[in-house]
Amino acid sequence: MQVKVNGKSEDIQSGSVLDLLTLKKIDPQMVAVEVNDKMIDREHLATTTLKEGDLVEFLFYMGGGR
Amino acid sequence: MEFTEEQINRYSRHILLPEVGGKGQKKIAKAKILLVGAGGLGSPAALYLAAAGVGTIGLIDSDVVDLTNLQRQILHHTSDIGRPKVVSGKEKIAALNPDVIVKTYEERLTAGNALKIFSEYDIIIDGVDNFTAKFLINDACFFADKPLIHGGILRFDGRVTTIVPKKSACYRCVFKTPPPAGLVASCQEAGVIGVLAGIIGTIQATEALKLILGIGRPLTDRLLDFDAKKTLFREIKVKRNPHCALCGDHPTITELFDDGDPFAGCAVRP
């Protein structure tokens, strides 16, 4: 199914947000996740199932500044 | 207060703008802006805000200028190596615009001093390089009820957002806690393309001026992410989080504290 990840269309297997993070080898502790403009608590990543057309944002920490 | 003829000339390109005018320029002259960090983001912000005629600029930084800073921290010159950043910064601001009052704090921002310092300013600009400080600034702005212009840069990526406490999403609404220290690369290891500091720091200064003037649409409830490699800006909508530990419906953070390891780095993209 098609979802948008950080603005880019991707064809993925159905599954949870955590499955997608695992597939992309992203440590859930290193991102904040938004699905369709709604923040997903880290403890709900495994139980949040992605649907066709979902807009997923993986927001990485950006700490620099000096 | 009245402007002198020289000041009217100096700020003429502002005064010409209907959105600014003499009235707006006076608002700028009365404004007090604190820059937390006189480094990469703080440099362009300090210079443009000084040029704009911001009445009072506060600089807080405990560091001295290092050779490795000069690739991006344009407030400091080669001859400043080894000198406190706040001293070097104050000199550059004074040379650019003697109208500006510069207050310096040669110390680290801590849970102990943040609220007292923040209380003297209208707007706070985040130009720090570690998560403990970024969360501390976010929390202190909430408790002191001060608008915050948040910025972050790393490698070829930058991010900026405006936070109006209790009205728009705060940093903790999105990022609840700092990332685990062990997973974070230090800024020294990660690197950053120097011009990124100019792009993001200048947007921060723009946001601050908009808030002072009360014009346009602030960058609230939106993260503006910049990808320098693709020259691409992306806007990510965010919302206040009712479960936010700081500004949510049932807050668990009720006073300032240092969250995480202050020496953990600037982190990131896997």
Q: Where are the domains of chain B?
A: 15-237
The model's pLDDT over B85-126, given as tens digits with 9 standing for 90+, comes to 999 999 999 999 999 999 999 999 999 999 999 999 999 999
pLDDT at B259: 84
Q: Which residues of chain B have pLDDT under 50?
A: 267-270
Contacts of B224 in chain A (CB under 8 A): none
Alpha-carbon distance values, A33 to A65, B38, B63, B103, B116 (Å): 23, 31, 34, 39, 34
| pLDDT reported for residue B270 | 39
Kindly list the distances between the CA atom of residue B52 and the CA atoms of B46, B60, B245, in Å, as whole numbers in the listed order.
10, 20, 37
Q: Are A40 and A46 in contact (CB under 8 A)?
A: no
- What are the residue boundaries of the structural domains of chain A, listed by start? 2-60
Average pLDDT, chain A: 93
Query: Domain B15-237's class?
Result: alpha beta
pLDDT in tens, A34-55: 999 999 999 999 999 999 999 9
Q: Residue B126: beta bridge partners?
A: B36
Which of B178, B192, B270 minimises the CB distance to A64? B192
Confidence (pLDDT) at B264: 56
The interface predicted TM-score (ipTM) is: 0.89
What backbone phi and psi angles, to 5 degrees, belong to B124?
-115, 135
A15 Cα to chain B: minimum distance (Å): 22
Does this model's pTM top 0.90? My answer is yes
Minimal Cβ distance to B179: which of A7, A30, A37: A30
Question: Which of A8, A31, A61 would you mutate first to test chain B, the one with the most B CBs within 10 A?
Answer: A61
Put simply, the answer to whether A63 touches B237 (Cβ < 8 Å) is no
Beta bridge partners of residue B56, listed in sequence order = B32, B101
Tokens describing residue B101: 């009052």
Distances, alpha carbon B55 to alpha carbons B50, B80, B124, B202, B215, in Å: 8, 25, 14, 18, 19
Task: Report the candidate in B134, B136, B132, B142 with the shortest Cα–Cα distance to residue B163.
Answer: B142
Q: Which residue has the tokens 């996740």?
A: A33
Q: What is the pLDDT at residue B265?
A: 54
What's the pLDDT score for residue B165? 98
- pLDDT of B181 reads 75
Domain A2-60, classified CATH 3.10.20.30, yes or no? yes
pLDDT for the residue B57: 98
